[in-house]
Amino acid sequence: MLLALLTATLAQATCGACSAEGRAYQVYAAEARAASAEDHPENAYLFAADVHEELATISGERPGVVRPFRVGTSGADRPIWALRLVDPAVPARGTLLVFANIHALEWVPTEVAVAFALDFAAAPIPGVEIVLIPSLNVDGRALVEEDLRAGRNVYRRGNAARVDLNRDFAVNRESRAIWKALIPGRYVVSPAPLSQPESRALDALADAERFDAAVSLHAFGGFFYSPWAGRWERPADHAEFGRLGGLMQNAMVNHPYRPRQLSRWGFVFRGLGMELDHLYGSYGTYAFLVETTRSGVETLADLGSNFRIYNPRDPGPHAREGVRYLRALATEVASGRVQARGAP
Ligand SMILES: [Zn+2]
């Protein structure tokens, strides 16, 4: 407790140039650090305290470039933090939303998000304003942390209420696919549109900011997925999605992911109520769902670990690739050529 108080006071003292919310974030990160052991299982990965320590550090060092703010509160009352990343010397010609870790066990996405924030802080891209949420499903992530510390191997996808946030959005919740009657398990959806505080926080942010482009970072698969996820038809902007997906693909060095419309992942598959359809269908945002990595399985034994299936032993190469494709998309948005034009 005394340690937490001391670190919090120190954090406050070291960021004179930060905004009030920036200072609140410094305090939050310092308290999280004091409450959490630095040594933990899966030490190649950032636990929540490590995430906030990294991000609070760059926000303290570059308060004009990295501006933390709260986008909402989780079902279990945890703050959901975001960073606004800008080059303050240049007016923004476009806006980009990057968010990660909608699925509890998918941690590579957070590694990508943090790496991109660090990269941007070191070398800001002029002309783009980015909102970055390192973890949207903060409660699900916290439960996975507890599992890892206790040596438990639990499959977790949803939030604290066990709702899959990836099926909790408002657009394309119904499917007319004839396969629905045959394979109902492929067509699951949450109890009601925007039923969870985490998805409502994301929607409120998207509604207020009307981002030109967005990326939801998941694992695993190796695709740049575009809308529609819940309908077989091509969207009106299919060609532009292909162009932007191609830009990200070309920015990668090793085994580049391919762009694809998500509903065409498999003939009988439809992703209902998904975040990319919601952002595109509600706000005209060029929204992608990126399946980072091609799974973490390297040995037969890995198949028995829920964490490992999603998260390779070393997230480093995947984080570096993530920086490349996110930088490519952000640079294109900064050109002003990518403009959300309202609901299609
Ligand atoms: Zn996922």
Question: For the segment 145-164, what is each residue's pLDDT rounded down to a tens digit?
Answer: 999 999 999 999 999 999 99
pTM: 0.95
State which H helix or E strand residue 190 sits in: none
Interval between CA 218 and ligand 1 midpoint (Å): 4
Interval between CA 5 and ligand 1 midpoint (Å): 37
State which H helix or E strand residue 80 sits in: strand 79-86
Q: For residue 131, what are the domain limits? A: 65-334
Residue 22 in domain: no
Cα torsion through 15, 21, 27, 33, rounded to 10: -100
Interval between CA 29 and ligand 1 midpoint (Å): 26
Residue 313 has phi, psi (to 5 degrees) of: -55, -45
Higher-pLDDT residue of 135 and 185 is 135
Residue 21 in domain: no
Interval between CA 102 and ligand 1 midpoint (Å): 6
Residue 37 in domain: no
CA–CA–CA angle 328, 271, 177 (5° rounding): 135
Interval between CA 292 and ligand 1 midpoint (Å): 9
The answer to whether 84 touches 78, Cβ cutoff 8 Å, is no
pLDDT digits (tens, 9 = 90+) for 279-306: 999 999 999 999 999 989 999 999 999 9
Interval between CA 307 and ligand 1 midpoint (Å): 13
Interval between CA 199 and ligand 1 midpoint (Å): 14
pLDDT digits (tens, 9 = 90+) for 17-68: 899 999 999 999 999 999 999 999 999 999 999 999 999 999 999 999 999 9
The answer to whether 194 touches 205, Cβ cutoff 8 Å, is no
Banded pLDDT at 2 (limits 50, 70, 90): low
As a whole number, mean pLDDT of residues 107-126 equals 98
Q: Which two tokens stand for residue 267?
A: 């003939």
**How far is 76 from 329, CA to CA, in rounded Å?**
34
Q: Is 60 exceeded by the pLDDT of residue 272?
A: yes
Interval between CA 255 and ligand 1 midpoint (Å): 20
As a whole number, mean pLDDT of residues 181-200 equals 84
Interval between CA 138 and ligand 1 midpoint (Å): 14
What CATH number corresponds to the domain at position 103? 3.40.630.10
Residue 185 in domain: yes
As a whole number, mean pLDDT of residues 166-193 equals 80
Please report the pLDDT score of residue 188 as a whole number.
80
Interval between CA 109 and ligand 1 midpoint (Å): 9
Please report the pLDDT score of residue 113 as a whole number.
98
Residue 44 in domain: no
Residue 14 in domain: no
Q: Is 60 exceeded by the pLDDT of residue 4?
A: no
Banded pLDDT at 265 (limits 50, 70, 90): confident
Short-list 157, 112, 159, 118, CA closest to 134? 112
pLDDT digits (tens, 9 = 90+) for 5-19: 555 555 555 688 899
Residue 15 in domain: no
Interval between CA 104 and ligand 1 midpoint (Å): 8
Interval between CA 291 and ligand 1 midpoint (Å): 7
Residue whose pair of structure tokens reads 């162009």 in the numeric block: 243
pLDDT digits (tens, 9 = 90+) for 325-343: 999 999 999 999 999 987 6
What is the pLDDT of the chain when averaged over all its residues? Answer: 93
Q: Which two tokens stand for residue 344?
A: 């299609």
Number of domains into which the chain is organized:
1
Please report the pLDDT score of residue 170 as a whole number.
97
The identity of residue 96, as a single letter, is L
Residue 316 in domain: yes
Please report the pLDDT score of residue 229 as a whole number.
95
Short-list 270, 262, 230, CA closest to 245? 262
Banded pLDDT at 244 (limits 50, 70, 90): very high
List the single range of 64-78, 127-141, 164-178, 222-236 with lowest mean pLDDT: 164-178
